[in-house]
């Protein structure tokens, strides 16, 4: 059998993405972002995102089909993000995918956005050894996952008990007076700063916390610590370099994420670690993870930074895995699930 030709649609947050893959080969990946429209609000406004998806979905689809040079009639399946995400935003992509599946008479797969973030590495580095471990770090999620089979069997080993890693970046950026989204801005500022300038707390890393929360994360204490530090510095009129604060915060985040992901690999004797999600574009996280994986005999797989943020190709490649694994397609009457659990790969 030739590799499945799959079109993937993503609309869970502020990016409208349409990607086309053949097996693990990316043929097109077109993204329209409404991020500029949210900047002055300091975060994504759901209503604005939904309207932007509605306007962008058909032009983005047209661009993807043209870039891939394929005929829609030749598709083997349509894959679409069914959750988790913003309800009004998800519905736009899902409706478009249903319309395509219905008119073209092709199978529809409603897939989990987060599995897309993990599976996207197949496009860069081919099939993954199973089982493997995944560190998923996005704006809304922070998880350690054990992947026995990407298309069917994923287990959540740990999660954040409060803020997600990306959320912490966005909140800390805001309190440092930097624009939204905070991740890329802090990443850049941190490169000019000293990561050892301030020792910020590493959440859930003390011995008594590890007993109950070995693979879990917490970032709200870190955010509060940064906020207090800045408050005290301003009150006492201490001259400080904001780049040092950014670098020290980033170091704390990267330190805990990498320590726990490596610990999970060693504990479960899994030798491959996949990195995924918007925060996976972070330069320090990528660097430190590489160092620590190498020191522990773990093969690290990191998708290129451009594929770490939301896009349609990551949804298409999960669809392609589902087709190859012979998973039953979704019904045309599925709904969107804004809180779709990680263990559910497709609907
Ligand atoms: O995965 P994603 O595109 O959207 C969700 O599914 O949530 O992740 C967006 C998050 C934002 O919080 C953004 O600040 C963060 O990823 N991010 C980064 C970097 N690039 C994006 N965080 C740290 N360093 C970066 N270079
Ligand atoms: Zn995402």
Per-residue pLDDT of the chain (347 residues; tens, 9 = 90+): 689 999 999 999 999 999 999 999 999 999 999 888 888 888 888 999 999 999 999 999 999 999 999 999 999 999 999 999 999 999 999 999 999 999 999 999 999 999 999 999 999 999 999 999 999 999 889 999 999 999 999 999 999 999 999 999 999 999 999 998 899 999 999 999 999 999 999 999 999 999 999 999 999 999 999 999 999 999 999 999 999 999 999 999 999 999 999 999 999 999 999 999 999 999 999 999 999 999 999 999 999 999 999 999 999 999 999 999 999 999 999 999 999 999 999 99
pLDDT value of residue 42: 81
Q: What is the token pair recorded at 259? A: 């320590």
E runs forming strands in the chain:
5-10, 15-22, 25-33, 77-83, 108-112, 132-137, 142-149, 153-159, 272-276, 299-301
**Cβ density class 145-157: b for 16+ within 10 Å, e for less:** bbbeebbeebebb
Tell me the C-alpha distance between 287 and 80, whole Å.
32
User: Which ligand 1 atom is at minimum distance from the Cα of 182?
Assistant: 14
Q: Report yes or no on whether pTM surpasses 0.85.
A: yes
Ligand 1: residue whose CA is nearest its atom 4: 139
- Within 10 angstroms of residue 64's Cβ, the number of other Cβ atoms is 25
Distance 278 CA to ligand 2 centre (A): 6
CB 169 within 8 Å of CB 185: no
pLDDT value of residue 39: 83
pLDDT value of residue 151: 96
Does the domain at 130-305 match CATH 3.30.420.40? Answer given as yes
- Domain 5-120+311-325 matches domain 130-305 at the CATH topology level: yes
Ligand nearest to the CA of 182: 1
Q: Is the CB of 282 under 6 A from ligand 1?
A: yes
Distance 249 CA to ligand 2 centre (A): 22
Cα angle at 155 between 152 and 158, to 5 degrees?
A: 155
Q: Is the CB of 93 under 6 A from ligand 1?
A: no
Tell me the C-alpha distance between 60 and 15, whole Å.
11
Q: Is the CB of 183 under 6 A from ligand 1?
A: yes
Tell me the C-alpha distance between 27 and 316, whole Å.
10
Class of domain 5-120+311-325: alpha beta
The domain segmentation of the chain, as residue ranges, is 5-120+311-325, 130-305
pLDDT value of residue 40: 85
């Amino acid at each position: 059998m030739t590799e499945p030709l799959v079109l993937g649609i993503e609309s869970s947050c502020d990016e409208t993405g349409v990607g086309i893959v053949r097996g693990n080969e990316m043929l097109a990946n077109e993204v329209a972002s409404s991020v500029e429209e949210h900047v002055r609000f300091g975060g994504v406004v759901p209503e604005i995102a939904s309207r932007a998806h509605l306007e962008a979905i058909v032009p983005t689809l047209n661009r993807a089909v043209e870039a891939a040079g394929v005929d829609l009639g030749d598709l083997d399946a349509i894959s679409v993000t069914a959750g988790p995400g913003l309800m009004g935003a998800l519905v736009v992509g899902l409706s478009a995918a249903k319309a395509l599946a219905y008119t073209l008479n092709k199978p529809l797969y409603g897939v989990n956005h987060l599995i897309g973030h993990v599976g996207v590495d197949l496009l860069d580095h081919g099939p993954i050894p199973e089982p493997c471990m995944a560190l998923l770090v996005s704006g809304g999620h922070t998880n350690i996952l054990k992947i026995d089979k990407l298309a069917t069997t994923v287990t959540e080993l740990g999660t954040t008990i409060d803020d997600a890693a990306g959320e912490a970046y966005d909140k800390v950026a805001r309190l440092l007076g930097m624009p939204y989204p905070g991740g890329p801005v802090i990443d850049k500022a941190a490169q000019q700063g000293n990561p050892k300038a301030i020792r910020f707390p590493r959440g859930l890393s003390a011995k008594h916390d590890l007993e109950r929360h070995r693979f879990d994360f917490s970032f709200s204490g870190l955010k509060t610590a940064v906020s207090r530090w800045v408050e005290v510095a301003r009150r006492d009129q201490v001259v400080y370099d904001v780049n040092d604060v950014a670098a020290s915060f980033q170091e704390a985040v990267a330190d805990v994420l990498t320590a726990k992901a490596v610990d999970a690999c060693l504990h479960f004797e899994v030798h491959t670690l996949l990195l995924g999600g918007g925060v996976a574009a972070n330069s320090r996280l990528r660097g430190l993870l590489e160092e620590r994986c190498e020191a522990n005999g773990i093969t690290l797989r990191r998708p290129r930074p451009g594929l770490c943020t939301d896009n349609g190709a990551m949804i298409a490649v999960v669809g392609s895995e589902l087709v190859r694994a012979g998973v039953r397609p979704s019904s045309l009457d599925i709904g969107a699930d804004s809180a779709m659990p990680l263990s559910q790969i497709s609907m």
